[in-house]
Structure formats: C-alpha cells, structure tokens
Amino acid sequence: MELLLYNLFLWSYRLAIKLAAAWNPKAKRWLEGRKGIIDKVREALKMETAPIIWMHCSSLGEFEQGRPVLEEIRGKYSHFKFLLTFYSPSGYEVRKNYAGAEYVFYLPMDSPVHSKQFIEIVNPVFVLWIKYDYWYYYLLSLKDRQVPLVLVSGLFRKDHVFFRWYGGLQRKMLQAFSHFFVQTEGSVDRLQKLGIVSNVTVSGDTRFDRVIEIAEQFERIALIENFCGDRPVIVAGSTWLEDEEEIDHFANTNPNIKFIIAPHEIDEIRLKEIESLFESSIRYSNLGDLDSREMTPNVLIIDNIGLLSRLYRYASIAYVGGGFGDDGVHNVLEAAVYGRPVVFGPVYDRYIEAVELVGSGGGFSVENALEVEELFSRFLNTSEEYNQACEASREYVYSKRGATEKILQVIQEKRLLTN
C-alpha cells in the first residue's frame, strides 16, 4: 500500500508540474530540463572509462553544503571523475557549468525504469547524497547494486515522516545508506530508535566550512564598493515580498543609509514588486551606467544570481529573508561568517543554525516592521552592543568548522572509496 501511494504521489507530482509549466517559469525549466535526459546522460558518458563519484543535491543550498566534501575528495583522489545532479532548476541553472564536476545533469524523475537506466549508465563507485531529497527507486537501486552511499549533513527531526507510524517506506529508504553524517546528537538518537546505530557519525554541518572558505577567499566587487561609499549599509538577502514590506519604510525614510536587496527570486515580476516599494532604487545591471553626476539611489536591487555570499561582506547589518514565510529563514551563515548582526523574521525554529545564532548573541528575530526599525537604529547608534553582536556572529561560525575533515576521515577509515 505504501509503495502504491508513493507511485501515486510521483504521478500526481509529474502531472502538477506539467500543468504549472504553462504559467510558472520554474516548473517549465524543471520539465524542459528533463526532456530526453536519459539519452543525454548516455551520450555524455559513452566513452567514459574512469570510475565515477556521483553527488546529488536537491538545490543550490544543498550543493554548497556538499561542495566542500566533493572538492576535498577531488583533491585527494585524482583518478575519479565526478557527476553532479540537481532536482531543482534553481540549483542546476546556477551550477550547470561548475568546474568541479565533469558532468552536471538534472536528476531524472524517480521511477523503476529511470533509476535503473540512470545508475547503469553512470555506474557510480561512490555516492554522496546531500542532507535529504530521498527518492525510493534511486536509493533502492543503489542498495541492490551495493554501491557505497553516504548522507552528508543529514538532519533528522522528531516530526519527520521516518518516525511516524506510516513512514515504513521512508524507513526502508534509510537502509540504502552505508553511512550517515549528521549535524546533531538528536539526529543520532532518532536514528538509533530505528535500529541505525553503528554507521552514524556526528560530523556537524559542512556549510560552516563552505562559508568560511568563501569569506577567507573574498573577492572585491568594485561596483558594490562604489555604491556603498562610506555610508552604513544594510544587506537584505534571500528576501520575499513579506520581508521587503518590513524594511521599506526604514529605507525610504533614511536616505543616508544604503540598502542592498538580493531577492530569492529575480524574475521581472518580483523585481518590479521591489521597485514599487522602494522610492529611490536602481538595479545592479544598471549601476554601471549611472552618471557620476547623478544622485545615487540609496537602494540597490540585485538582479542576478551568485553575488549574495560576497555581498554580506559589505553589510553593517545583515537581514536574511524567509522568516516571515511558512518555510522559514534562509541561510544565516553566509552573513554571520563576516561578523555582522544577523536579523530575520519569527519563523526560524526548524533551523538549528539560526536557533544557535540567536542563542550566541549574533542573531536577532523580529516580529514586525517596528521591531526591525528599532533594532536597525539601535545597532547603528550603539557601538558597544553592535560590536558584541558582530563578535558573537563570527565566533559562532568559526567554532563550528571542521565537518568536512571529519567526514573525509571516516570515509578513509571505513575504506568506503576503495571497497
């Protein structure tokens, strides 16, 4: 019955994507990206003779989580080739030309046929599965072929389906993994209740290693530096409309403060929504054309992908979006690594790094626009509190580094790459 329901879910999901593609650009990219995907993979790998390591990520955030592990393995084992798959267009479109992998594809939709064909073509000798995105037929096929499969930066909460009475199929998926690298002791305890004991390691979250690497290899952005000048700067990253509505009044009434808005989605509709909220704004793509004699707007709207992790370096205060929506706050670590106070909305309790950042004194949750404005004003005018928050943010991130090293050590000790 559970497998029947899973197959019904796959059928319904595929149908929903097809219907949504008529009006939703992301759904359209998801669908078009998978046209003939098995044939594309077969053609790309037909002459490949080197052993392949496969890393699967749901989207861009999970890629950044798995990237330190992939690159560390690549540096130590030069005879492997690397294949990277994404489920979401927001990951694939940004990283389809990633130089750290010889092959980058969408993951074909889960099915008995697709999983069998894909894995037979790729013939991986080792698989990295990042955080989640569990697909039954792929995991079952890897288990049947006895391919070493590790979960990187896994996080298991008590409300996950694995721990429900109806989660039998999902629990079966977990049996495919050779080893679990998890973020917390709580995850270990929950897996132990399922009888998964000997193949679990608390490694921490590899995102800490990644954001530290980005910060320590920081590359300047001349246009951003010119825009900021010597003014206080508030960088609002991964924002949605709900976030922008909490900060627009403060931006419009404080023209001496620079704001950089990097929305989570950058389609034309979203960009126009943002422009309608902020009275004095300019898009990043137009910034280079601005005449130096003109008055520079105080709000810069980022209309491309890939800058955010560097933009936080220019912030006096960082605001991370998502916390006013049902899904919760986005990645707070990209901002905290630079030693800045990190502000976000009230929905963050499912994200352990956000909870811990608040506990450390570097993160601050707000309920409404009045609290946002009060907090911004306080930090910009009270140096002692501001400096304490900056130090707490940076110290929190650096205290958590080392997950990648732990993972590689266990992989080597258990000879998962040489079985």
Domain that holds residue 226: 219-398
Position 351 scores a pLDDT of 94
Residue 210 lies in a domain: no
Asked whether residue 419 is domain-assigned, the answer is no
Digit-coded pLDDT (tens) for 335-351: 999 999 999 999 999 99
Q: Are residues 25 and 110 in the same domain?
A: yes
Write the CATH number for 363.
Answer: 3.40.50.2000
Q: Please check whether residue 355 lies inside any domain of the structure.
A: yes
Q: Which residue has the tokens 């013939």?
A: 123
pLDDT in the model for residue 293: 54
Which residues have CB under 8 Å from 175's CB, separation 6+?
143
Which of 1-5, 14-18, 112-116, 373-377 comes out lowest in average pLDDT? 1-5
pLDDT one-digit tens code per residue, 255-269: 999 999 999 999 999
125 and 224 assigned to the same domain = no
User: What is the tens place of the pLDDT at every residue in 146-196?
Assistant: 999 999 999 999 999 999 999 999 999 999 999 999 999 999 999 999 999
Strands 179-182 and 281-283: unpaired
Contact 169, 28 (CB under 8 A): no
Q: Which residue stretches of 123-167 are H helix? A: 136-144
Closest CA to 46 of 99, 103, 85, 125: 103
Percent of the chain residues topping a pLDDT of 90: 93
| Residues 229 and 306 reside in one and the same domain | yes
Question: Per residue in 68-80, pLDDT tens?
Answer: 999 999 999 999 9
pTM exceeding the 0.85 threshold for the entire prediction: yes
Q: How many C-beta atoms surround the C-beta of residue 59 within 10 A?
A: 18
Write a three-state SS string for 155-180: CCCCCCHHHCCCCHHHHHHHCCCCEE
Judge if 333 and 227 occupy the same domain: yes
Mean residue pLDDT of the chain comes to: 95
Give domain status of residue 49, yes or no.
yes
Confidence of residue 368 (pLDDT cuts 50, 70, 90): very high
Residues forming beta bridges with residue 318, ordered by sequence position: 235, 342
Mean pLDDT of 239-254: 97
Closest by alpha carbon to 124, among 99, 106, 141?
A: 141
Q: Where residue 21 sits, what CATH number does that domain have?
A: 3.40.50.11720
* Mean pLDDT (whole number) for 303-311: 92
Phi first, then psi, for residue 197 (nearest 5°) are -125, -55
Residue 334 has pLDDT above 90, yes or no: yes
Amino acid at 395: E
Write out pLDDT tens, residues 89-109: 989 999 999 999 999 999 999
Instruction: Give a yes or no: residue 115 inside a domain.
Output: yes
Residue with tokens 């909220």: 277
Question: Same domain, yes or no, for 84 and 151?
Answer: yes
Give me the sign of the Cα torsion angle 346, 280, 309, 286: positive
How far apart CA 269 and CA 8 sit, in angstroms, is 34
Which 3 state secondary structure label does DSSP give 229? coil
**221 burial via Cβ count (<10 Å: 0-12, 13-18, 19+):** middle
Instruction: Please report whether residue 144 resides in a domain.
Output: yes
Same domain assignment for residues 302 and 347: yes
Does residue 181 sit in the same domain as residue 241? Answer: no
Residues 394 and 406 in one domain: no
Average pLDDT over residues 56-66: 95
Indicate whether 233 and 130 sit together in one domain: no
Number of folded domains that form the chain: 2
Asked if 56 and 120 sit in the same domain, the reply is: yes
Angle between helices 112-122 and 37-45 (to 10 degrees): 10
Please compute the mean of the pLDDT values over residues 254-283 and round it to a whole number.
96
Q: Is 33 in the same domain as 88?
A: yes
Residues 331 and 238 sit within 8 Å (Cβ to Cβ)? yes
CB count, 10 Å around CB of 361?
16
Instruction: Look up tokens 């989570």; give the residue.
Output: 264
Same domain, 230 and 181: no
Confidence of residue 38 (pLDDT cuts 50, 70, 90): very high
Decide if pLDDT at 322 tops 60.
yes
Q: How far apart are the first and last CA of the chain?
A: 36
Q: Which pLDDT band holds residue 291 (cuts at 50, 70, 90)?
A: low
Q: Give pLDDT, residue 296.
A: 79
